Structures are given as structure tokens and as C-alpha cells.
């Protein structure tokens, strides 16, 4: 009985190891694919890094609208734009923010960690601005019987903050990303 359990555990461990190796191979192949020409240069990557501004503006605008079909449609567009943006940004940086350390070299790990530190500060700044807006909204409601954001407008704003917050690390990486130098001797 004990031998059967250890054999079954060994089989599961071997299967898990094979699956992990296959996943790593797929990630390596994806990262080695050449970037499209329009995304290969630094200027294009920096332009792509500004993509989080679009869903942020759309979500803030949606927060000021009454609860209508238009606001729901706008928020759907914001979500779709955010997903497309994160996919594009990850492609532009060769999945640098999404692969495990074991698949990265030392330079890439250093570059990713520096971008994470900066993106942490950017996300904190975004959340601080939203917190200040919420405090101002509360003060306006008490003092002037008016509001900065009417009704349940804070819901789309907070959903947008989460979506943009997920984009920011990849955007910072895209802004700072440098292609590795070719190691071949000419």
C-alpha cells in the first residue's frame, strides 16, 4: 500500500514537472518571437505606455454620468480597452512582468524590479488622488449640499482605478524597456 502511494506521488510529481517544463518552453518561445515593426522601437513602446490614460479618462468621465445605458456602455469600453492595453503592453515588453524569475536573466530581473518600485509609487499617487477626491466629495456634500460625484458614480471610478492599477506596472516597464544587446560577436 505504501509503495503504491509513493509510486502515485512520484508519477504526479513527474507529470507536474513535465507540465511546468512545457509551460516554460511555451513562454520562452513567446518571448523570443520578434516584435511587430510598429512596436519594436522605443518611441512606439513609450506611446503604448501612455495607454492607461485612456481608460482612466473614460472611467472618470463615466463616474460623473447618471446611471444609464451610456455609462454602462462606456464602462464596458473602458474594461475592453484596459484588457487590450495590458495585452499590448505585455507584448511590448516581452512578458517581462508576467514570467517567473527562472526564465529571466539578471538584467531583466533588475529592470523588472526597478519598474515595479516605480509603478508602486504611481499606483499610490493614483489612489491618493482618488482618496482626496472622496474627501472633497464628502465635504461638499456636508457643507454645500452638492457633490463632486453624484449617486453611485464612485463605483465606475473605483473599477477604473483597479483596471488602470493593473496596467501601470506593464506601462512603466514599456516606458523604461530596453532591448537586450545581441551577445554575438561580429
pTM, entire model: 0.81
Residue 182 forms part of a structural domain = no
Q: Tell whether 183 is covered by a domain.
A: no
pLDDT score of 9? 83
pLDDT at 183: 46
> Are 65 and 22 part of one and the same domain?
no
Check: CB of residue 55 under 8 Å from CB of residue 160. Answer: yes
* Same domain as 65, residue 138: yes
* CA distance readout (Å), 40 to 47, 102, 110: 12, 25, 21
Alpha helices in 65-105 (DSSP H): 69-92
For 59, residues 6+ apart whose C-beta sits below 8 A from its C-beta are 75, 78, 156, 157, 159, 160, 161, 163, 164
Same domain (yes/no): 146, 63: yes
- Please indicate, yes or no, whether residues 9 and 45 belong to a single structural domain of this protein: no
- Residues 169 and 105 both lie in one domain: yes
Q: pLDDT tens digit string along 159-181?
A: 999 999 999 999 999 999 877 65
pLDDT at 185: 41
Amino acid at each position: 500500500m505504501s509503495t503504491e502511494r509513493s509510486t502515485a506521488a512520484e508519477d504526479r510529481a513527474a507529470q507536474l514537472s513535465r507540465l511546468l517544463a512545457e509551460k516554460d518552453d511555451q513562454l520562452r518561445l513567446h518571448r523570443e518571437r520578434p516584435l511587430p515593426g510598429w512596436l519594436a522601437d522605443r518611441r512606439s513602446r513609450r506611446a503604448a505606455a501612455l495607454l492607461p490614460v485612456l481608460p482612466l479618462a473614460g472611467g472618470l468621465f463615466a463616474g460623473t454620468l447618471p446611471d444609464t445605458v451610456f455609462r454602462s456602455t462606456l464602462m464596458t469600453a473602458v474594461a475592453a480597452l484596459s484588457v487590450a492595453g495590458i495585452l499590448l503592453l505585455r507584448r511590448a515588453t516581452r512578458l517581462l512582468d508576467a514570467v517567473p524569475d527562472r526564465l529571466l536573466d539578471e538584467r531583466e530581473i533588475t529592470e523588472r524590479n526597478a519598474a515595479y518600485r516605480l509603478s508602486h509609487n504611481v499606483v499610490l499617487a493614483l489612489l491618493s488622488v482618488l482618496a482626496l477626491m472622496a474627501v472633497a466629495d464628502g465635504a461638499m456634500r456636508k457643507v454645500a449640499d452638492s457633490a463632486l460625484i453624484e449617486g453611485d458614480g464612485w463605483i465606475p471610478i473605483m473599477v477604473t482605478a483597479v483596471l488602470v492599477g493593473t496596467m501601470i506596472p506593464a506601462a512603466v516597464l514599456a516606458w523604461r524597456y530596453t532591448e537586450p544587446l545581441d551577445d554575438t560577436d561580429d
